[in-house]
Structure 1
Amino acid sequence: MNRAERRILALLRQLAERDFAVLSDLGGSPRRLAVLTYIAEQHGFRYAEAHRVGRALQVQLIRIERADAGPPDSASIPGLRPGTLRPLPEAAQAVRRLKDRIELDAMADDPSVRSRVVIMTGCALFIAVCFLVSGWRAALTGFTCAEALFMSFLYAEVVRRRKLARRVHAAV
């Protein structure tokens, strides 16, 4: 039994025993959790929320009452390649939407942009103080380069978050 089959089997056991489920991925992979969430949705659960706990990413699922949702068994997982966590083309779009939603919810837990700006500016000032030994021009250059680098990373993250939000809201 490979790792994907063990994950699916553990998920199906959890789905059979409870009215809620918590999926956790220590690596924080939204793609893996999106596939497992898709499997849970096929067995009568719906996505509730996602959040980070340290480095791990957790997804919470809630049971919904559906007439066609029977007891879960490992033989009935439509839309996945057998023995893997890879969706077939007919399920790829649904898994992609779930992945986007999980990523967006996980990003909401991240510290705000303002606190990151303060932290990064503090780091750039520290670099500038370290460069003061070499002279004020080196300190000014070091501060400017560090601040520009940090701000470009923040801008890229904000742009990524906006794209995800647009895709999630367009899918709803």
Structure 2
Amino acid sequence: MNRAERRILALLRQLAERDFVVLSDVGGSPRRLAVLAYVAEQHGFRYAEAHGVGRALQIHLVRTEHADTRPPDSASVPGLRPGTLRPLPEAAPAVRLLRDRIELDALAEDLSVRARLVIMTACALFAGLFLLVSSWRAALAGFAALEAMFVGFLYLEVVRRRRLARRVHAAV
């Protein structure tokens, strides 16, 4: 039994035992979690929310009123290639929509403390290095350039979030 089949079987056991399931992926892959959420939807659950916990990404699934509580007998799931976490072409749009919703929910959270700490530390170190090597004018110019670069990255994140929100709202 490969890793994908083990993940699906573990998910199916949880679905049979609980009304509320939390799935997490240490690498923070929305694609893997979207496929697992698709599997859960096939068994009467619906996606509720997603959020980051450290380096992991977690999604919450809730049982619907018409869910089947019997445990499935195998790890084969309609809409997925056997033995993998890859959707077939007919299930790909549903998985893509779930992935977009998971990414949008995960991006809706504030910029993590770690990311802000990295930005502030890099700017301070860069300014201090320029002060040691050259004049205060060069340090100020270097600091401004680095700050503009970080603001650009943050703007790209906002643009990505807006694009995801448009796709999710258009699909719903």
Q: Same fold (TM over 0.5)?
A: yes
Q: CA–CA distance in 2 between the matches of 1:12 and 1:33?
A: 14
* Cross-structure match for 1:95: 95
- Name the structure 1 match of 2:58: 58
Match of 1:162 in 2: 162
2:129 alignment counterpart: 130
- Deviations, residues 97-143 of structure 1 (Å, cap 9, x unaligned): 0000001111122338xx95x98467435522331221133213311
Give 3-state SS (helix, strand or coil) of 1:78's partner. coil
Counterpart-to-counterpart distance in 2, 1:77 and 1:53: 28
Structure 1 residues 96 and 46, CA, compared in 2 at 3 Å: closer, same or farther?
same
CA RMSD of aligned residues (A): 2.2
Moved more, 147-156 or 135-144: 135-144
Q: Is 1:17 paired with 2:28? A: no
2:3 is aligned to 3
Is the deviation greater in 83-92 or in 145-154? 145-154
Structure 1 runs of 4+ with >6 Å offset: none
1:45 and 2:82 are equivalent in the alignment = no
Unaligned runs of 5+ in 2: none
TM-score (norm 1): 0.88
Give 3-state SS (helix, strand or coil) of 2:21's partner: strand
The answer on whether the counterparts of 1:21 and 1:62 sit within 8 Å (CA) in structure 2 is: yes
Paired residues, what number? 168
* Superposition deviation, residue 151 in structure 1: 1.2
TM score, norm. by length of structure 2? 0.88
User: What displacement does 1:32 show?
Assistant: 0.2
SS of equivalent to 1:62:
strand
Answer whether contact 1:43 1:71 (CA < 8 A) is retained: no
Residues 27-74 of structure 1 deviation map (CA, whole Å, 9 limit, x = unaligned) = 11000000000000000001111111111111111111227x462422
Query: 1:39 is aligned with what amino acid?
Result: V
Counterpart Cα distance in 2 of 1:59 and 1:72? 21
Give the aligned partner of residue 145 of structure 1: 145
SS across alignment from 2:90: helix
For structure 1, the 5+ residue unaligned runs are: none
CA contact (8 A) 1:35 1:87 kept: yes
Determine if contact 2:9/2:75 at 8 Å carries over to the other structure.
no
Q: Check 1:4–1:119 CA distance in 2 against 1; reply closer, same or farther (3 A cut).
A: closer
